[in-house]
Structure 1
């Protein structure tokens, strides 16, 4: 299973962009979503942007990933129910 990681475009070129996110700066292939202006959030799957995100979506995904990381690292205060359906 792959997770889309939100990244923000900081430099835009024809078919690639330099983006910043949880894993620092990286080059992202933009062929599936087209060129995007600086400041746009996209969902990055293995080096390719798959979806343009609203800033609120990117924030919610990052918050859920922060909580998941806390849980994996043994934080007893991690509450995944806030972000993931417990059913």
Structure 2
């Protein structure tokens, strides 16, 4: 199983935008990679996509991206032994 993570397109490559440079994070968590865009086609710079193993898989809208970022933060906290369920998954905790 592969985990796709949100990455923002910062640069296009190739005559038809077949590849894109994408980035996420800051400081020690900064990540930049080149992804193949054959499944998505060319997308404008600034677009958020889900990327995995060098392949752009899906365009992500901002609301969905924020939910994914929250889930990733919850996972990171649980791995560090500092998980508090009240801080995450607000969309599931509605009453």
- After TM superposition, the score normalised by the length of structure 2 is 0.77
2:41 — aligned with what?
34
> Computing the radius of gyration over CA atoms, which structure comes out larger, 1 or 2?
2
Give the secondary structure class of the aligned counterpart of 1:34. coil
Q: What root-mean-square deviation, in Å, do the aligned CA atoms of Structure 1 and Structure 2 show? A: 2.1
Contact persistence 2:8–2:47 (CA under 8 A)? yes
Aligned-partner Cα distance in 2 for 1:12–1:53:
17
Alignment equivalent of 1:15, drawn from 15, 18, 35: 18
- After TM superposition, the score normalised by the length of structure 1 is 0.83
1:5 — aligned with what?
5
Structure 1 regions of 5+ residues with no counterpart? none
1:45 partnered with 2:45: no
Matches of residues 56-71 of structure 1 in structure 2 within 5 Å?
56-71=63-78
Cα deviation 1:36-61 (Å, max 9, x = unaligned): 10110100011101111102211210
Structure 2 regions of 5+ residues with no counterpart? none
Number of residue pairs the alignment of both structures matches? 84
